[in-house]
Every structure is written in C-alpha cells, then in structure tokens.
C-alpha cells in the first residue's frame, strides 16, 4: 500500500503526532479538571458535583494557577484541560498569561440569576460562570471590644488613624474579602470610574495610601487574619458571606456584621477557565458545564445586613491590573508578611 503524499512528505511519526493532538483523539482520554479554590472562602464545591464518566478531578490551592499550572502551560504541556476557580483565580491566570478565550460555540450564555450575570460580565470571554452567590464586602467586629464600629469610608479612615494597628485586610489577590473591599472603595468615594482601576480610581488609591499608614501589616491569608482577629490582635476586619458563619461559630456567636454605606455587594462565584494549549473540543466541556451548573452550591445571605445594590466587579483584565498595582504601591506601605 502506498502511503498518502502527506505522510510521505512529513514522515509517519509527524502525522501520528499531529493525530494525537487532534480534538477527536484527545477525547479518548479523560478530561482533567483542576479545582483551584481556597476552601472556606469561595462557594462550596464537592467532587461529586463534577462526577461524570470521563472526568478526573484534581484539587489544588488557588496559588497553583500561577505556579505549577503556569509552568506547564509555558512549556506547551498544560497539566489539565480545564480549571474550576474563582474570579481571583481567573485574574491570577491572566496575570500569568495562561488562559485561552472560550470559543463562542462552547459558551453557555444563559445565566440563572443576577449574581451569575454580574460575574459573567466581569469574567468576559476568559471564564464561564457555573455558580454564584452572596459575597461582600462588609465589616466584622466584636461589640465587646469595639462597641461603635465605623460605617462608611470616612469613619473607617478616622478609626484607623485613631487606633492604628486594630484594622487590617488581606491583599486583594489573596482574599475575596480584601478584593471586594478594595473594589467597593470607588463607589463609596464616588470615584470617576469604579470599573477602571488604572484611570478612574484616583480618590481610592489616595485613600488606600492614607489607610495604609494605620495598618501594621496585611496578613498572609484570610485564615491568618481570622485567627489574629479571634485572638484579639485586630478589632475590625472585612467579612465575606461564605466564611462569616464559621468565624461566627468560632467566636461563640458574639460577632456582628456591619454594612458600609455606599458599598455595593459583589457576588462570589465559581467559573471554568481553559489553559492555553488545551485540546478538548466543546462536547465534553459543555456536558461538564451543564453538570456543574446543575449543582449550583448555595451560600446564604447574612440576615443582619441590609440589602445593597448588586454590581459586577471590574472586568477581569482590569481586576488583574488592580492586583498588580495594589501589590506594587499599597501592600509594601504596611508590609505583606505576617509578623506574629
């Protein structure tokens, strides 16, 4: 039998290699799904939510997006085919330049509620939202230690000046609570464009610079912040709907949430992103998306908080730029290492 001219020109090994990279043959192996979330901070996820034939689930810390996953993508061999993560994970992957946009024919454009719609507007073409729920920001205090907490931006700055070291928050790239607090500031301060951190946040960047003068350090993680708060090191921290119930239980029910005047509510969510170089076609991806959408994990709203306008966070590309600028110009002013 005479080999086709294409094989004759390229050599059998070259054609075999090309065939193995094709979507049809790629889907003869399982779809590898990485779940990159920080437990207790995002919407809950169970491996059973993604249980379906042909899917392998791997759980990793969110930081893996910028380390091992990024290294594998840059080497041209992505370690997974899809990533289930949060908006922070999506932003960190954009900083590392490892995502490929969702093709229009792969997308599920319908959204189940206003929270999903807000998140999808932030994620854009880079992520497909599968679930959404209440997020934040709000403040948390113990009335026994701080009877009259601040309730707006000016009161918070006055409190930090009056009681330096008693308030803190985690870097926005490391905490959904810190991220939502920072993103709420341009609304609270009536900045020019709350969706454009680079050009429209003049008042907010100045405010954060002033606020940093009364912050001793930014804890390395939300868990470290909550531990220090419960130990009495801080009297005021940002809260999040997903983590507040556990914090409240650890404090014996004595904590109180505080709404910030002028702050919108930004939802939490789970979304799927595609590493650059993934070779799976749309069929399996869409089946997995439908499975995850059906699970729709729920996070209850905080009953003590009044309703606030629901808004989308800035588009994820601008969110990534905000993370970089905060790390460059705000974080070092107070120090980013936990000194305990």
Q: In what order do the strands lie in the sheet with 256-258?
A: 236-239, 138-141, 256-258
Quick one: tokens of 100?
Answer: 């490929």
Give the mean model confidence (pLDDT) for residues 164-178: 94
DSSP string, 155-224: HHHHHHHHSTTSB----TTT-HHHHHHHHHHHHHTT-S-TT-TTTS-HHHHHHHHHHHTT-----SSHHH
Are the beta carbons of 321 and 95 closer than 8 angstroms? no
8 backbone dihedrals φ, ψ, rounded to 5°: -60, -40
Both tokens of 210, joined, read 């002033």
Lowest mean pLDDT among 16-30, 41-55, 202-216, 243-257: 16-30
pTM (two decimals): 0.80
Task: Dig out the tokens for 163 from the structure.
Answer: 């009681």
CATH architecture of structural domain 136-266+310-334: 3-Layer(aba) Sandwich (3.40)
Token pair for 182: 């920072």
Fold of the domain built from segment(s) 5-133+267-295: D-Maltodextrin-Binding Protein; domain 2 (3.40.190)
Coil, helix or strand at residue 17: helix
Say which range, 103-117, 152-166, 255-269, 279-293, has the weakest mean pLDDT: 103-117
Average pLDDT (307-312) is: 89
CA 280 to CA 31: how far, in whole Å?
8
- The C-alpha angle 79, 53, 296, rounded to 5 degrees, equals 85
* CA dihedral sign of residues 259, 124, 322, 62: positive
pLDDT of residue 334: 79
Domain boundaries, the chain: 5-133+267-295, 136-266+310-334
Q: Please tell me if the domain spanning 5-133+267-295 has the same topology as the one spanning 136-266+310-334.
A: yes
For the ranges 105-109, 200-204, 241-245, which has the lowest average pLDDT? 105-109
The pLDDT of residue 72 is above 60: yes
Give the span between the Cα atoms of 55 and 51, in whole angstroms.
7
What percent of the chain shows pLDDT beyond 90?
Answer: 54
């Amino acid at each position: 039998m005479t080999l086709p001219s294409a094989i004759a020109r390229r050599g059998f090994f070259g054609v075999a290699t090309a065939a193995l990279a094709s979507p049809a043959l790629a889907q003869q192996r399982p779809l590898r799904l990485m779940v990159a979330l920080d437990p207790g901070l995002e919407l809950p996820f169970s491996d059973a939510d993604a249980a379906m034939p042909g899917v392998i689930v791997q759980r990793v810390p969110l930081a893996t997006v910028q380390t091992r996953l990024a290294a594998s993508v840059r080497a041209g061999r992505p370690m997974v085919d899809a990533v289930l993560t949060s908006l922070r994970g999506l932003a960190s992957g954009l900083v590392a330049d490892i995502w490929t946009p969702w093709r229009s024919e792969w997308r599920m454009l319908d959204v189940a509620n206003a929270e999903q719609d807000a998140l999808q507007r932030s994620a854009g073409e880079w992520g497909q939202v599968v679930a959404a729920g209440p997020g934040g920001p709000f403040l948390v205090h113990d009335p026994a230690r701080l009877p009259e907490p601040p309730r707006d931006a000016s009161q918070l700055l006055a409190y930090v000046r009056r009681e330096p070291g008693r308030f803190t928050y985690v870097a926005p790239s490391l905490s959904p609570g810190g991220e939502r607090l920072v993103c709420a500031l341009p609304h609270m301060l009536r900045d020019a464009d709350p969706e454009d951190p680079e050009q429209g946040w003049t008042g907010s960047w100045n405010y954060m610079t002033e606020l940093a003068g009364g912050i001793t350090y930014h804890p390395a993680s939300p868990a470290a912040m909550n531990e220090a708060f419960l130990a009495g090191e801080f009297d005021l921290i940002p809260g999040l709907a997903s983590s507040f119930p556990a914090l409240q239980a650890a404090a014996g029910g004595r904590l109180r949430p505080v709404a910030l005047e002028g702050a919108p509510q930004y939802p939490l969510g789970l979304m799927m992103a595609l590493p650059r170089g993934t070779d799976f076609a749309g069929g399996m991806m869409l089946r997995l998306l439908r499975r995850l959408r059906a699970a729709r994990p729920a996070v209850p709203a905080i009953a003590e908080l009044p309703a606030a306008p629901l808004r989308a966070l800035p588009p994820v590309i601008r969110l990534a730029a905000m993370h970089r600028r905060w790390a460059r110009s705000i974080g070092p002013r107070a120090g980013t290492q936990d000194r305990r």
